[in-house]
Amino acid sequence: MRAMVEAFPSLLSLTKPDPSIMTMASQAFSSGLHGICIAGMGGSAIAGQMAKALLAQKAQVPLITWRDYELPRCVTKDWAVICVSYSGNTEETLSAFETAKKVGSALFIVTTGGAILEQSKDLPVALLPKGIQPRAALPVIFSLALPIVEALIGIDSTDFSKLSVVLEGLVKRWGNEIMSPRNLAERISSLVPLFIGSGHMVPVSYRAKCQINENAKTVAFSAELPEANHNEVEASHTYKEYGIVPIFLRSTHESKKMSARFEATDAVYRQSDCAPVHVRLSGLSELEETLAIAHYLDMLSVDAADIREVDSVRVDKIAELKRRLAEGF
């Protein structure tokens, strides 16, 4: 897992969608789409959530994500649906795929194979490389899914080769501008991280929670601002008792109002003897920040796994759940 996470920057430029897929996406945009839905679960869902957080405000139609069976009723033949499943066998994603087929939406598939590929004979499929853990495949999934979404909303495609170089360079700032992932992992090793982000950092905080769960096999939470100021904050006096450490994922693109909220939240938490950790990297675009902080926190989860002496690759409980569901528990 460490090697896969180290490869995060290079995975961003490993592959790109076939030109024919991009043409189909541009044609779908020109036909006047009514909305775009990105369906997928777990490690295969996060790229869609990031794409939504980065692009929803630029899209002239609703851009939604779906992590469930079927699809919402608003998704019709005039929508585009992108189904992402690393294995191609995830029950919920297959259900969303079948629903999209039934309603006649413009379908795009991102997968390595499995049942979804078998059932996608005449459909545009962006093929993922095999042999990576789904959650570690985030950069490659993102580099295939984001350009499709960009074409579906009629904007220029991101240059992933450039992005890959930028991310490579940012690793050198770990341990200088921000604490190294290893040091942070040591600092929080007996604590429960609560990742808190706002705007485009919301999926990054959720991703970090999931990475700690799946890689380090331990409990973690995520929340978002401003919402957490209206509920979560009331529990902050118990953070010390439960060993919770808030980790604020800051953005240089935060509005003044949002920065004020982070600082006020920090002050309230400190009154309960709980000092939040602030994670930020300066001088980056929203897209670069999203991926750079996700990469940094992915490494945190691997370091946390090492400290806890657990295997960060195996996800036995997820596999058992899938097996039980397939066999009728």
Q: Give residues in contact with ligand PA5 (CB under 6 A).
A: 41-44, 85-87, 90, 93, 133-135, 214, 315, 318
Shortest CB 11 distance to ligand PA5, Å: 15
Minimum Å gap between C-beta 55 and ligand PA5 is 22
Collapse the DSSP code of 143 into the 3-class scheme (helix H, G, I; strand E, B; otherwise coil) and give the result. helix
Q: Quote the DSSP letter at residue 70.
A: S
Question: Closer to ligand PA5 at the Cβ: 44 or 251?
Answer: 44
Smallest separation (angstroms) from ligand PA5 to the CB of 284: 26
DSSP annotation of 323 reads H
Angle at which helices 138-152 and 286-308 pack, to 10 degrees? 160
Which residue, 62 or 113, is less far from ligand PA5 as judged by CB? 113
Give the shortest CB-90-to-ligand PA5 separation in angstroms.
Answer: 3
d(CA 187, CA 300): 11
CA geometry: angle 195, 162, 5, nearest 5 deg? 40
Contact indicator for 67, 92 with CB cutoff of 8 Å? yes
Residue 65 vs 90, nearer CB to ligand PA5: 90
In the bound state with ligand PA5, the residue whose beta carbon lies nearer, of 58 and 314, is 314
CB of 210 vs ligand PA5, minimal distance in Å: 7
Residue 307, H or E segment = helix 286-308
Q: Shortest Cβ distance from residue 307 to ligand PA5 (Å)?
A: 21
* Helix or strand run (H / E) with residue 21: helix 19-30
- The first and second tokens of residue 173, run together, are 């700032």
Per-position b or e across 122-138, b if 16+ CB within 10 A of its CB? ebbbbebeeebbbbbbb
> Which residue's beta carbon is nearest to the bound ligand PA5?
42
Token pair in block for residue 294: 């996700």
- Beta carbon nearer to ligand PA5, 91 or 286: 91
Residue closer to ligand PA5, measured from CB, 129 or 243: 129
Instruction: Say how far apart CA 250 and CA 236 lie, in whole Å.
Output: 19
Nearer of residues 106 and 315 to ligand PA5, judged by Cβ: 315
Q: Is the distance from CB of 2 to CB of 302 less than 8 angstroms?
A: yes
For tokens 């602030």, the residue is 278
- For residues 41 and 55, which CB has a smaller minimum distance to ligand PA5 in the complex? 41
Q: How far is the CB of 209 from ligand PA5 (least distance, A)?
A: 12
Supply the minimum distance, in Å, between the C-beta of residue 308 and ligand PA5. Answer: 18
Compute the distance between CA of residue 167 and CA of residue 70 in angstroms, rounded to an integer: 36
